[in-house]
Amino acid sequence: MQRLICVIGNKGGTGKTTITHVLCHGLGLLGWRAIAILTDSQRQPLSKQGRRYVPVDGREPEVLDKIVAKLETTPDWLAVIDGGGNRPALDRQFYEMSGMALLPFRDSPEDMRTVMDDLDAFPNAYALPSQWPTNPWQQLAAERSVDDMMLTYRTRILDPVYTVSASKQLLQIQMPSALPNALNNMSRSLAWRVLQKMGLPRHAEPPHTAPNR
Ligand SMILES: Nc1ncnc2c1ncn2[C@@H]1O[C@H](COP(=O)(O)OP(=O)(O)OP(=O)(O)O)[C@@H](O)[C@H]1O
Ligand SMILES: [Mg+2]
């Protein structure tokens, strides 16, 4: 399904859940209707209230099938699967059903080694630097490590998602009513970049904010 995105990767704790919600929030801000699909049995479903997207508990396989069927008939919807670490068979399944696959990795040699294996296993996936340092010196060092370790994958690495401590607010079961600008900007920017890579417009037709909808 073209409008299905999966956020996967074998390593735990790389930022899959955070990126799923940041991306869905950003898609909402850009006028798309987005669904964040929970697939991790270790996590609790989040409340829909106050969000610009719909979190769905997708831990039963039928739910995923229903969402894919819904996407087929609703061109202004996108869905994002939040994978879980250490589940290679499920990662393969999500990759094969999605139009776009994102592989978050942090600035660590272990994350980079794992994401390179994942890039080999999933040839159409993109690596997404996650929790990236905002301090200029640390950033330079992180970029150097990527250049040293991942040079041959350069064209498959997207611009980073930076560390923004407010991102955890999106993961609260009940989201706060207002979110800081830094988080909104980061979300919009990630959503815009992913839409561009997928060849989708910034606003679906009709846009999310259209009156009487
Ligand atoms: N961009 C970010 N800025 C600040 N903190 C972040 C960011 N991304 C992730 N984190 C923090 O890093 C931790 C791990 O992130 P997250 O839960 O999203 O990873 P995950 O890949 O989903 O983990 P798991 O493999 O357990 O599912 C969390 O505490 C989260 O708040
Ligand atoms: Mg997670």
pLDDT at 8: 98
Map out the domains of the chain as residue ranges. 4-103+158-193
* Residues 6+ away with beta carbon under 8 Å from 107: 129, 131, 132, 133, 138, 141, 142, 145, 146
- Given pLDDT bands bounded at 50, 70 and 90, which one contains residue 208? very low
Distance 18 CA to ligand 1 centre (A): 5
Q: Is 187 in the pocket of ligand 1 (CB under 6 A)?
A: no
Q: Is 161 in the pocket of ligand 1 (CB under 6 A)?
A: yes
CATH T-level topology, domain 4-103+158-193 = Rossmann fold (3.40.50)
- C-alpha to C-alpha distances, 66 to 7, 22, 57, 177, 190, nearest whole angstrom: 19, 23, 12, 30, 26
In tens, the pLDDT along 134-153 reads: 999 999 999 999 999 999 99
Distance 98 CA to ligand 1 centre (A): 22
Distance 45 CA to ligand 2 centre (A): 12
Q: pTM for this one?
A: 0.95
Q: What is the DSSP letter of 123?
A: T
In tens, the pLDDT along 4-26 reads: 999 999 999 999 999 999 999 99
For atom 14 of ligand 1, the residue with the nearest CA is 13
